Amino acid sequence: MARVAVDVVIKPEILDPQGKAILAALGRSGHTGITSVRQGKHFDLEVDDSVTDAELEEIAGTLLANPVIETWTVTRLAEVAG
């Protein structure tokens, strides 16, 4: 068993109105040191040892992210006992 994190973010050239709204709210709250916010999705997966990196890439690129407008990173976090 392994834990895998998949982070999906909108491509930099595509507008992220959600991130812009958060940035504005941070400014109004006095957190003016934050200069950019992009919001995306985070997935925590538990996978068994039969799952290869190639299968994880395929899952991320077809089921978790929309490759037209999003990019993603796949990170293996740790082996889990069992």
User: Considering the complex, what minimum distance in angstroms separates the CB of residue 22 from its own copies?
Assistant: 7
| Binding residue count for its own copies, defined by CB under 8 A | 33
**Closest C-alpha among 55, 60, 77, 81 to residue 1:** 81
Under rule CB under 8 A, residue 63 binds its own copies = yes
Scan for tokens 């990170």, then name that residue. Answer: 75
Query: Structure tokens of 2?
Result: 């392994």
CB atoms within 10 A of CB 31: 10
SS3 call for 10:
strand
Site string for its own copies, 39-58 (x = CB under 8 A): xxxxxxxxxx-xx---x---
* Total residues found in the chain within this entry: 82
User: Considering the complex, what minimum distance in angstroms separates the CB of residue 29 from its own copies?
Assistant: 7
Q: Which C-beta is closer to its own copies: that of 15 or that of 50?
A: 50
Member of 11, 14, 24, 31 binding its own copies (CB under 8 A): 31
